[in-house]
Amino acid sequence: MVDVDAVLEAAGLKNDHVREYVKYWAGITGAAEIEVVSVEDDARLVQEALAAGEILPAGEDLYYSRSYYKDTARSEERTIVATNNPADKGVYNNWYPAAEMKEKLTGLMRGASAGKTMYVIPYLMSPPGSPLEKYAAGVQLTDNRPVVLHMNRMARVHVDFINNLHDPDSFVRAVHVTGDLENLGQGTPDDKRYFVTVADERMILHFGSSYGGNALLGKIAHGLRQAAYDGWASGKFLAEQFMLLGIVDRVTGKKYHIAGGFPSASGKTNLAMTLSPGALGDRYYVEFYGDDIAWMWVGEDGKLYGMNPENGVFGVAKDTNENTNPTAVEAIAPGTKAIFTNVAYNAKTNEVWWEGRTPNPPADLDGWLDWKGNPIADRSPAEANDPWAHPNSRFTTTLANVPNIAEDYNEPSGVPIDAIIFGGRTRDREPLIRAITDLAEGVYDGLTLGAEATFAADGLDGQLRYDPMSMRPFMSYPEGPYAAHWLKIIGETTDKPIFAHVNWFQRDAKDGHFLWPGYRDNLRALLWLMQLKSGEVEGIESPVGILPSKDELNTDGLEIDPADLDELLTIDVDRWKQETGFRAAHLEQFKDLPEAIWAAHRRVAENLGE
Ligand code: GTP
Ligand code: SPV
Ligand code: MN
């Protein structure tokens, strides 16, 4: 048994509550060694991981990692929120009693790190000094070195963050045990993976994965599930799966900030990293704050403030290239210490590749391995069309590497939020943008956000898979109180953000092409929204919000078929009436939904002539 006290003392870890916590779980997991990590240790840990073959070189200060082939994405079915209060059960949070889950996870973790090093990662999910700092401190324990390397990039990692806590007992206890990945029965009735947030005890227990949100516990387990619960329990803030960006107008000198929720893999990273379309580039400049999580609170001046609790980007690799996302390409260039996971790798040249990186895959197959590590050159004809990279393969890089990172991204004050936008993948009905000025109607719109039903989700034609506020997989408390908490927080502002629903994914009914070019041109819709808010344009009232008139939308240099633009800026009332019925059924699932939300629903239905 390791002398935990001696190791923690030598590492300068002074917090007695942290010491007790580490000792307890070191005992349960049976780890052979304990090591406290600060970000300064990264270079050494990288060398150790390279020497052990856990990561591979991928160019100058770039690294490649591969996860077990049955462990390549966040698992929604195995994710649980547990508390001591059965009233915390919601429709989406997969609630279980805390005592049952703690016992279950303790059993699974017992002895499961035997022979391994348990890394102690003190972290902060906020800029130091933030008004929400007390909700941001955590200590992750993990028996997996590549997970440590990812945490060093995604969170602020330093022993000082938990030595100097205002309340030394107020930190999230986040235990990650990898488990025997080859024997966990992933996807079978005997699945042994459990990803549990014991929200009212601020404890996270994840067993059975080394990938992404399952293993980097600062990110969605703490940054979203735990923080959303804390924000509600304290009545002080919102924690949402939102991107956060700034728009600088070089002519007027004004700066706007927009936060927005799009379901996973629906364009948050791309929007937050976007550059202005060429013709507008002299005037407008987009600044990156965050691409996956925003915490929002009301400032003393009555404005809504927001900040990105993360310190890095865990971005979808697929289709990332110089045209779609040049900023991302720069953020993962040689020298950035970025880590690529589950993309294709060339063992001879150390290059990486993924679908959409270049129009065609490398012609010379020599040395190329697919994401599972199998040589591409040895593929059978039946495998010839399999992707080289996993569709959910990702890159990990720190915020400081993003070329358009906002100068003030690390400021504890956060930034005032002018607008909150929602957007999903919707092939019809949803126009390019519709603005909503009423608070309850804005919250109602977020609660009815959805993305198209795919082959995986059974649904009626035209019906969405609803993903309220893009939080469906991260919801930690019931939906009725969630809506009430939104109304309360934004209701406390004296300078309200404007709401809007955006859709970059509308398609032509006949040939299926995207009506809107998307990517950089998305800025045009956001600029109109800022002009509407400041009264520079009026827009056109529709039953479901205010739409831009064709003259108001800045189309300088935009290449679009005028008929497509017409369609993007009109409302299909019949489809909307059908949607209203689906929405009522969706909202009826939620207990204690505030009357203000139902009233908003009825107003929209009446506007449509229902
Ligand atoms: P998570 O990290 O999973 O939460 O996802 P995200 O919302 O950050 O998604 P991301 O920005 O990585 O986008 C996912 C996919 O959407 C990528 O394949 C993009 O190429 C595609 N995409 C993003 N923006 C647009 C757009 O404006 N138009 C079109 N057609 N596709 C887009
Ligand atoms: C998502 O799935 O929405 C992500 C990736 O952002 S993960 O961190 O794995 O949840
Ligand atoms: Mn996400």
Tens digits of residue pLDDT in 439-448: 999 999 999 9
Q: What are the pLDDT digits (tens) for 156-183? A: 999 999 998 999 999 999 999 999 999 9
**Site to substitute for ligand 2 among 264, 271, 394, 475, most atoms within 8 A of C-beta:** 264
- pLDDT band of residue 452 (cuts 50, 70, 90) is confident
**Site to substitute for ligand 1 among 270, 293, 526, most atoms within 8 A of C-beta:** 270
Helix, strand, or coil (residue 175): strand
**What residues flank ligand 1, with Cβ below 6 Å?**
262, 264-270, 291-292, 315-316, 318-319, 324, 504-505, 514, 518-519, 522
Q: What is the helix (H) or strand (E) element at residue 499, kind and residue range?
A: strand 498-502
Q: Is the pLDDT of residue 454 over 80?
A: no
Q: How far apart are CA 373 and CA 367, in angstroms?
A: 11
Mean pLDDT of the 287-310 span: 98
Concatenate the DSSP letters of all residues of 425-462 into one string: --SSS--SEEEE-SHHHHHHHHHT-EEE--SSS---TT
Looking at residue 299, its amino acid is: G
Q: How far apart are CA 187 and CA 183, in angstroms?
A: 12
- pLDDT band of residue 455 (cuts 50, 70, 90) is very low
Q: Which residues contact 451 (CB under 8 A, 6 or more apart)?
A: 263, 266, 424, 425, 426, 464, 465, 467
- pLDDT band of residue 610 (cuts 50, 70, 90) is confident
Q: What are the pLDDT digits (tens) for 366-388? A: 999 999 999 999 999 999 999 99
Signed CA dihedral, 553, 555, 560, 563: sign only: positive
Ligand 3 mean position to 264 CA, how many Å?
5
Q: Which of the two residues, 452 and 57, has the higher pLDDT score?
A: 57
User: Ligand 2 within 6 A of 217 CB?
Assistant: no
User: Can you give the pLDDT at residue 456?
Assistant: 42
Ligand nearest to the CA of 423: 1
Rg (CA), the chain: 24
What percentage of the chain exceeds 90 in pLDDT? 95
Q: Is the pLDDT of residue 453 over 80?
A: no
Q: How far apart are CA 246 and CA 415, in angstroms?
A: 9
Mean pLDDT of the 505-534 span: 96
pTM of full prediction above 0.85: yes
Signed CA dihedral, 487, 492, 496, 497: sign only: negative
Ligand 1 mean position to 268 CA, how many Å?
6
User: Ligand 2 within 6 A of 261 CB?
Assistant: no
Q: Is the pLDDT of residue 49 over 80?
A: yes
Q: How far apart are CA 337 and CA 203, in angstroms?
A: 31
Q: How far apart are CA 262 and CA 549, in angstroms?
A: 25
Ligand 2 mean position to 225 CA, how many Å?
12
Q: How far apart are CA 103 and CA 82, in angstroms?
A: 12
User: Pairing state of beta strands 117-124 and 95-97?
Assistant: unpaired
Beta strands in 262-329 (DSSP E): 284-290, 294-298, 304-307, 312-316
Residues with CB under 5 Å of ion ligand 3 are 264, 292
DSSP letter for 389, please.
Answer: S
Tokens linked to 434: 């519709």
Residue with tokens 């130091």: 128
User: Can you give the pLDDT at residue 265?
Assistant: 86
Residue in 235, 239, 242 with CA at minimum distance from that of residue 257: 242
Atom of ligand 1 nearest to the CA of 392: 3
Ligand 2 mean position to 283 CA, how many Å?
33
Ligand 3 mean position to 292 CA, how many Å?
5
Ligand 2 mean position to 327 CA, how many Å?
20
Residue-wise over 564-590: b if at least 16 C-beta within 10 A, else e? bbebbbebeeeebebbbebbeebbeeb
Q: Which residue owns the Cα nearest ligand 1 atom 28?
A: 518
Atom of ligand 1 nearest to the CA of 470: 4
User: Ligand 2 within 6 A of 218 CB?
Assistant: no
Ligand nearest to the CA of 315: 1
Ligand 2 mean position to 425 CA, how many Å?
17
Q: How far apart are CA 65 and CA 317, in angstroms?
A: 13
Atom of ligand 2 nearest to the CA of 219: 8
Tell me the CA distances in angstroms from 2 to 108, 147, 273, 371, one per residue in order.
21, 22, 45, 37
User: Can you give the pLDDT at residue 462?
Assistant: 63
User: Ligand 2 within 6 A of 212 CB?
Assistant: yes
* Residue ranges in 83-236 assigned as alpha helix (H): 98-109, 145-154, 160-163, 212-215, 227-234
